[in-house]
Amino acid sequence: MTCSSSTTFNIRRGALLALALGGATVASGGDTAIDAARREADAAITRHDPVSAEVGLRKVIARTHADNALRAWLAEALFAQGDSAGATAALDGGPMTPDSAGLGWRVRGQIALADGRLDAAAAAFDQALQRAPDDADVWVAIASLRFTGGEQALAVAAADRAVALDPRNPRALALRGMLIREQYGLAASLPWFEAALHLHPDEPPLLDAYASTLGDMGQYRAMLIVARKLAEVDPKNPRPRLMEAVLAARAGETGLARSILQRTGTAFRDMPAALLLSGVLDYRAGNFDLSVGAFERLVRMQPDNMVARHLLARALAAKGDWRRVVDLFDGDVAAGRAGPDLTALVGQAWNRLAGRESAARANGDRARGQTLIARAAAMRGLQGAAPLAGNGALSVLAQHYDDNPRLAANAVPYIRALLAAHQADVAQPVADRLRDENAGNADAQMLAGDVRMMRGDARSALIDYTNAAAIRFNEAVLVRMDSALRAAGRAGDADGMTSRYLAQNPESAVAMTLLAAGWAGNPARAADLAALRKAMLARGTDLPLAGGAPKAPSTTRAKAG
């Protein structure tokens, strides 16, 4: 299928999905009441007023009984209001005229995409493409579907097609900017957003993407200006409030940040970034129960997110719940997934528990605690990748994989179990098959490289990591490439690569920490190290110069669909 979505990986990206679900226009000639209704509905959707579009369409339908010619526009207006059920009912209410079927199928695909039904969305977009092959908004929807399904390279191609068809289409321009950001970095995406805003200065998705990128680059004053503009043109959009809360938190205004975030209500209840911010603010304010609640939800949503796990451990420790610290995170330490801070925290938890146990058990707990604290102190330099623990017996996971080897939900747990069983040589062809069948997916490329790193083949792993970086160069790829380059004896190349990444992403603490680890002990880099530390202190943290560089991500962190 032209619009096929990978059934292997499912990588949700809310900003890209929002672009796919945005309004669009469909050209129509003539000057009939139907044509006028379509144009007026298009104009209302474009100015983000779907209610007016619905009211106008219903009036014309009641007067002309032209349901078949207008039901696609009515469905689009309803869907833009968040009424997926109403939009589906409108589409199911009867046939559509040939000149409206393309829009109807696109809206049907957007509904499916919003519900996470990727196969249904792909089938609908295929139908839309057959009827409107040169509609830029169909290609925007296809690009978002492909990215959501993990087909990043194909998503870029679809976004390029959308821009070529309509160089002034705000949704196409915003989507291409977001993909540039994912592929090359924050700084590289700014010209795309700025050029698009020059054409469409009041377009909410563009303003949102531009403001978010400025904030991620540390340009907070500029971010706030753009966020306020977004609030003016889209008063019901809660995103500006979230940006203001982030800015207040960065400035140390915890009370103000919490107040702003609370005014967003439940708008960001399920957004990981908002949960992280909420948990951090509650922790700062001493509301450790609330902080634990936020981090627990985040960990349930992203169980492999080690930053979230560490923050949850800290919040539990702050409220003195040492038993849960041990129960939840001793496994991370045993599996080699925990960094020195979390390892030390778990060691401290064992020591605290020792004071509550009988003498015999206390000695064991205290010994465990002292061992972990010593291990944390000994953690220096780059640490090798460690496999995430597999859930289930190896034989059962092998059977599931044999039933459908194309599905990452089967392949990834099987690879985890093989690595845990020290069968990396068996895991390699499984990972390679997944990579080859998902050539446009950065996570699949990384996974194959991770297994090679576990087998000690850093030079071959670099090939997989480089291919991943060509699709999507983020911190996960950066850490892996840095580790592989150094393991291959190319420390200078690692420093150069990380410096270039930092130039594109100037707020990346991971890049700063990697550079600090690479430059440590080099007198010629003393001034550079001091500059890095100053930048980190300005962010409220310090370089872990005694603790080494970040741990290379676990070898099976690829997200399964």
- Summarize pLDDT for 214-227 with one digit per residue, the tens: 988 888 889 999 99
Binned at pLDDT 50, 70 and 90, residue 166 comes out as very high
pLDDT of 325 reads 92
Task: Examine the pLDDT at 23 and tell me if it is beyond 50.
Answer: no
Prediction pTM value: 0.69
pLDDT of 520 reads 80
3-state secondary structure of 430: helix
pLDDT of 533 reads 80
At residue 527's C-alpha, the angle toward residues 525 and 528, to 5°, is 65
pLDDT of 417 reads 84
pLDDT of 296 reads 93
Binned at pLDDT 50, 70 and 90, residue 267 comes out as confident
CB 9 within 8 A of CB 148: no
CATH number of 14-182: 1.25.40.10
Q: Which residue has the higher pLDDT, 392 or 517?
A: 517
pLDDT of 10 reads 39
Cα-atom radius of gyration of the chain, to the nearest Å?
Answer: 26
Q: For 208-241, give one letter per residue: b (16+ CB within 10 A) or e.
A: bbbbbbbbbbbbbeebbebbebbbeebeebbbbb
pLDDT of 108 reads 94
pLDDT of 92 reads 93
CB 410 within 8 A of CB 404: yes
Backbone angles phi, psi at 198, to 5 degrees: -60, -35
CATH number of 185-268: 1.25.40.10
H or E, element range at 54 = helix 50-64
CB 552 within 8 A of CB 383: yes
Task: Examine the pLDDT at 269 and tell me if it is beyond 90.
Answer: no
> Angle at which helices 491-504 and 509-519 pack, to 10 degrees?
150
pLDDT of 33 reads 86
User: Measured over all CA atoms, what is the biggest interatomic distance in the chain, rounded to whole angstroms?
Assistant: 91
CA-wise closest residue to 242 among 202, 296, 281: 281
Q: Which residue has the higher pLDDT, 8 or 39?
A: 39
pLDDT of 126 reads 94
Binned at pLDDT 50, 70 and 90, residue 545 comes out as very low
pLDDT of 261 reads 85
CB 136 within 8 A of CB 169: yes
Task: Examine the pLDDT at 301 and tell me if it is beyond 50.
Answer: yes
Give the C-alpha separation, 5 to 155, whole Å: 10
Mean pLDDT, the chain, whole residue set: 83
CB 295 within 8 A of CB 308: yes
pLDDT of 359 reads 57
pLDDT of 110 reads 92
pLDDT of 555 reads 42
Q: Extract the tokens encoding 517.
A: 């680890």
The percent of residues in the chain predicted with pLDDT above 70, rounded, is: 86
Mean pLDDT of 486-498: 91
Half-sphere exposure of 173 (CA within 13 A, CB side): 24
> Angle at which helices 458-471 and 442-454 pack, to 10 degrees?
170
Mean pLDDT of 89-104: 92
Mean pLDDT of 95-120: 91
Binned at pLDDT 50, 70 and 90, residue 289 comes out as very high
H or E, element range at 369 = helix 359-378
Mean pLDDT of 238-250: 87
348's CB contacts (< 8 A; 6+ apart) are: 317, 322, 369, 373
Lowest mean pLDDT among 83-87, 157-161, 204-208, 557-561: 557-561
Q: Per residue in 369-378, pLDDT tens?
A: 888 888 777 6
pLDDT of 353 reads 87
Mean pLDDT of 528-555: 60
179's CB contacts (< 8 A; 6+ apart) are: 16, 143, 147, 152, 155, 156, 159
Task: Examine the pLDDT at 58 and tell me if it is beyond 90.
Answer: yes
CB 80 within 8 A of CB 23: yes
pLDDT of 78 reads 94
Give the C-alpha separation, 160 to 324, whole Å: 49
Determine whether 355 is exposed, middle or buried from the number of CB atoms within 10 Å of its CB (0-12, 13-18, 19+).
Answer: exposed
Which of 84-93, 367-376, 398-407, 468-477 has maximum average pLDDT? Answer: 84-93
Q: Per residue in 143-154, pLDDT tens?
A: 989 888 878 888
Give the C-alpha separation, 560 to 278, whole Å: 27
pLDDT of 548 reads 44
Mean pLDDT of 422-442: 88
Task: Examine the pLDDT at 129 and tell me if it is beyond 70.
Answer: yes
> Topology of 394-538 in CATH?
1.25.40
CB 177 within 8 A of CB 160: no
Mean pLDDT of 328-342: 81
Task: Examine the pLDDT at 366 and tell me if it is beyond 50.
Answer: yes
Binned at pLDDT 50, 70 and 90, residue 46 comes out as confident
Task: Examine the pLDDT at 11 and tell me if it is beyond 60.
Answer: no
320's CB contacts (< 8 A; 6+ apart) are: 352
pLDDT of 4 reads 54
Q: Per residue in 376-408, pLDDT tens?
A: 776 544 444 444 444 557 888 888 888 888 877
Q: How far is CA 328 from CA 27, 77, 299, 325, 556, in A?
A: 57, 47, 11, 5, 20
Lowest mean pLDDT among 8-22, 65-79, 127-141, 534-548: 8-22
Binned at pLDDT 50, 70 and 90, residue 472 comes out as confident
Binned at pLDDT 50, 70 and 90, residue 7 comes out as very low
CA of residue 110 relative to chain centroid, distance: 20
Binned at pLDDT 50, 70 and 90, residue 109 comes out as very high
Half-sphere exposure of 53 (CA within 13 A, CB side): 28
